[in-house]
Structure 1
Amino acid sequence: MPTVRFRGKTIECEEGAVLRNVLLDAGETPHNGTSHHLNCRGNGVCGTCAVELDGSVSDRNAKEENRLSKTPHNLESGLRLACQTRVLGDVAVEKHDGFWGQKVNR
């Protein structure tokens, strides 16, 4: 079973599970502040569940590419939408600052 590491917590999940659902089912959230309430509920159009990932996950799909190519995001940031990403193996998740989690400091 793959594990997801997020904010000091390790969560087991089924291979192929949607990352957003894994986090929410574990009592965690891929959203910052009010975006926890103001989001598209996993439809891949708002971009508030953007996270940085390290591990085995699915490739970006067209919906994710489209949303991450628009402000305030950009494809070069390397962020992924938790609602469009499937967990394929162990993965570490980091949520950055900002309403959309877009403030990547490198």
Structure 2
Amino acid sequence: MPQITAQGKTFTCDRGENLRDVLLKNKVDLYNEAASFINCYGLGTCGTCTVEIEGEVSAPSWQEKARLSLPPHHPNTTRRLACQVQVLGDVTVKKYEGFWGHEEKVKWT
């Protein structure tokens, strides 16, 4: 079972599970500010669940690439939409400040 480290917590999930679902199930503060109430609930359209991931995860889909190419994100970002990521192995997740998690200041690791 893959191990996830996020917001100072470590937990496991099944291989192939959706990262957003796993983080929320384990009470990780995935959304910044009002984004916890105003988000697309995992459809990949709002861009508020943006995180930086180290480890083995699925490749970005066309939908994820399209959303991350729009402001305030940019096409060259290394960040991912948690709602579009499948966990394939051990991962470490980092969240940044800003409504969309787009700023340079780290919120949690």
Same fold (TM over 0.5): yes
* Structure 2 gaps, min length 5: none
Q: Could you tell me the percent identity over the aligned residues?
A: 46
**Matches of 2:29 and 2:75 in 1, distance apart?**
22
Residue equivalent to 1:81: 81
Residue equivalent to 2:52: 52
Query: Structure 1-normalised TM-score?
Result: 0.96
Residue equivalent to 2:23: 23
- CA shift, 1:52, in A, is 0.4
- CA shift, 1:76, in A, is 1.4
Query: Structure 2-normalised TM-score?
Result: 0.93
Aligned partner letter, 1:88: L
Q: How big is the alpha-carbon RMSD for the aligned residues of Structure 1 and Structure 2?
A: 1.3
- CA shift, 1:75, in A, is 2.3
Misfit runs of 4+, over 4 Å: none
**Matches of 1:61 and 1:40 in 2, distance apart?**
17
Residue equivalent to 1:6: 6
* Structure 1 gaps, min length 5: none
**Matches of 2:86 and 2:68 in 1, distance apart?**
17
Aligned partner letter, 1:102: H
- CA shift, 1:77, in A, is 2.0
- CA shift, 1:90, in A, is 0.3
